[in-house]
Structure 1
């Protein structure tokens, strides 16, 4: 029904607004002014918790009003797809683990020439793909074994949001790391994993 689609879209828009606001540099500058240096340590856990809490209304809406079923993948392929989704879900924690310096507020606000700036430090998952979060989201969407009308609408809008968010995130990384990141962009794809000739952990670009 149309109303269920609208409700789900409103929930997604609300999540996207809050998620984008809390990820923005002006908001982080405000938090640093108010909370001081301790915000550096607490911001990422608080940001992640906020993301989870604000996505729950959308999950609830899709659970209560999934809409007409478009297709169902039969077993055992269904479980293989779910397994792929679980593996994709592990990419986000790996991304945080392998590049914690990318998420430091002081480094994000300083620019590549400032004393607070960090080197790019390519390691872990980032040797194969530039945006593990985008890859994780796209794999999760593509491997969904049961697709409904409402879920498809949300997935299409989410794909657009993820792609635009990735473009914005990379512009921030260029501002944060400068020419180091521009050279990295030439060697590693944004979303397609680089299987051969991956960047070594010792490379400083």
Structure 2
């Protein structure tokens, strides 16, 4: 039904707006002014909770109105796809573990030469792919072993949102790390691991938050 597609798209747009707003630098500046130093420890859990709560209406809409079934992958291939989803699901926490300094609010709000700035510190999965979060998200949604009309529409729009978000995130990383990130970007591909090559792991210890 057309109404179910409209409702699902509206839920996705509402999530994207809230998600983008809470991830924006102006919002983070506001959080820093209100919460002070506690923002570094409080922001990520609060942001994650908001993301989960705002995606639930979309999940509910797709559950209630999945639309016409386009395909269902039979066994054993479906289990291979689920296995790929599980592996991709582990990539995101690994990516955060390997680069916590990228998510420090003070560093994001600083220029590369500011005293609060960190160096890029390439390690772990970032040696092979620039945006492991984008890779993880795309693999998890497109390896779904069944597909409906509404789900396909949402996945296409989500893919576009993920990619545009990745472009915006890289613009922010250039502002945060300057020439370090520009050189890194020349050597490592955004999504496909090892397409351009890899870089040596940084010898500097990781910065924890």
Q: TM-score, normalised by structure 1?
A: 0.96
Name 1:108's counterpart in structure 2: 108
Name 1:6's counterpart in structure 2: 6
Name 1:64's counterpart in structure 2: 64
How far the C-alpha of 1:203 sits from its partner, in A, is 6.5
Which segment drifts farther, 130-139 or 170-179?
130-139
Name 2:174's counterpart in structure 1: 174
**RMSD of aligned alpha carbons:** 1.3
Alignment partner of 1:50 is 2:50: yes
How far the C-alpha of 1:197 sits from its partner, in A, is 4.8
Summarize deviations over 1:145-167 as a string: whole Å, max 9, x none.
10000000000100110000000
Distance in 1 of aligned mates of 2:56 and 2:77: 28
Is this contact kept in 1: 2:188–2:196, CA < 8 A?
Answer: no
Identify unmatched segments of 5+ residues in structure 2: 205-209
How far the C-alpha of 1:141 sits from its partner, in A, is 2.3
How far the C-alpha of 1:91 sits from its partner, in A, is 1.1
Displacement over 4 Å in runs of 4+ = none
Summarize deviations over 1:182-201 as a string: whole Å, max 9, x none.
00000100000017852121
Name 1:29's counterpart in structure 2: 29
| Shift in alpha-carbon separation, 1:179–1:196, aligned structure 2, 3 A | closer
SS at match of 1:70: strand
How far the C-alpha of 1:202 sits from its partner, in A, is 2.8
Identify unmatched segments of 5+ residues in structure 1: none
Q: Paired residues, what number?
A: 204
Q: TM-score, normalised by structure 2?
A: 0.95
